[in-house]
Homo-oligomer: A and B are copies of this chain.
Amino acid sequence: MDELPRISDSEWEIMKVIWAKSPATAADVIHALRDNKSWKEKTIKTLISRLLQKGILTYEQVNRVYYYTPTISEEECKRTERESFLQRVYGGALKPMLVHFLQEEKLSSQEIAELKKILSDKEK
């Protein structure tokens, strides 16, 4: 993969569904998003088409049903997004970003313990 194309906000919604249910049909996606998104079916179809064009999805046709599969892993996309967010908003400065998130958001004490453990492990 030479250059990974941008995935827009709306496209992310589609991708999250398809990553979760890997060979997914358009109907699957429509069904999965029916409740939390007020998109028309056609809108979802359009987004899927664009993801195909961008090469982020492929499909396999079985009895005239299209099964869509991601060509990029969710982890890879997430990493790209993390990098781009970190760069764009914090100029790449990791610690200040983490501090903001930690101070701003809520975490259970169990989650805090896990994070501390990760940090300790990292400390080596």
Contact = CB atoms under 8 A, between A and B. Distances in A.
B95 A79 contact: no
Contacts of A101: 82, 86, 94, 97-98
- Mostly, the A contact residues are helix
Interface in A27-54: none
Contacts of A94: 101, 105-107, 111
Contacts of A123: 109, 112
Contacts of A98: 98, 101-102, 115
Interface of A: 9, 12, 16, 78-79, 81-82, 85-86, 88-91, 94-95, 97-107, 109, 111-112, 114-116, 118-120, 122-123
